[in-house]
Amino acid sequence: MVATYTANHLRSRLSVRTVIWQPADAATAQLVDLGQPQGASNLMLPIADFDSVMAVVTASLLVGNGVTAFSIYAGTSAAGANPTAVVTHAVGSAPDAEGDTLVLECNVEQIHEVLATATHVGVWIDCANNDDETAVTLIRADSRFKKSGLTADYVAA
């Protein structure tokens, strides 16, 4: 028997977005397209109601040596205007095996320290090869206003 009611505890306090990312040009670090569906100019997500941000990148299908650069960026629009690094991962030993995972986090104070006019946040990645594929998750947490549906199912049409 399954539970008789639906809990909406975490989904009313944080927003979780996961996309599969394959760089268009591995020679150029770039903002990950966080749109659902991708390609809709939603490179960054709003931070207005959140106090904390975490980004997670996991190698899923590698042809090259995986992620070579990984940062959380702030911007002033969903399209990624005025991209500014907030925190950057040292990367160190190459995450070059499927399942290798890197994690970064920051808070809204750090975001506004580097870009006072920031309204959006995104993930900046560079991979060793154009065909390297990663799963990228952006978590916006500590919502100031609890409301249903901050994290929702997404199934491509």
Here the CATH number for the domain that contains residue 122 is 2.60.120
Tally of structural domains, the chain: 1
- 62 occurs within a structural domain: yes
Residue-by-residue pLDDT tens, the chain, 157 positions? 777 777 677 777 889 999 988 776 655 668 998 887 777 678 999 999 899 999 999 988 887 778 889 999 999 999 999 999 999 999 877 788 888 999 999 999 999 999 999 999 999 998 888 888 899 999 999 888 777 777 777 776 6
pTM above 0.85, yes or no: yes
Question: Could you tell me the residue range of the domain that residue 116 belongs to?
Answer: 15-141
Residue 134 lies in a domain: yes
**Does the residue 150 lie in any domain?**
no
Residue 43 domain-assigned (yes or no)? yes
Q: Is residue 4 domain-resident?
A: no
**Residue ranges with strand state E in 1-156:** 15-21, 30-31, 45-46, 52-61, 67-75, 84-88, 101-107, 120-127, 133-141
CB 71 within 8 A of CB 78: no
Six token digits for residue 14 = 């944080």
In a domain, 8, yes or no: no
SS3 of 10, please?
Answer: helix
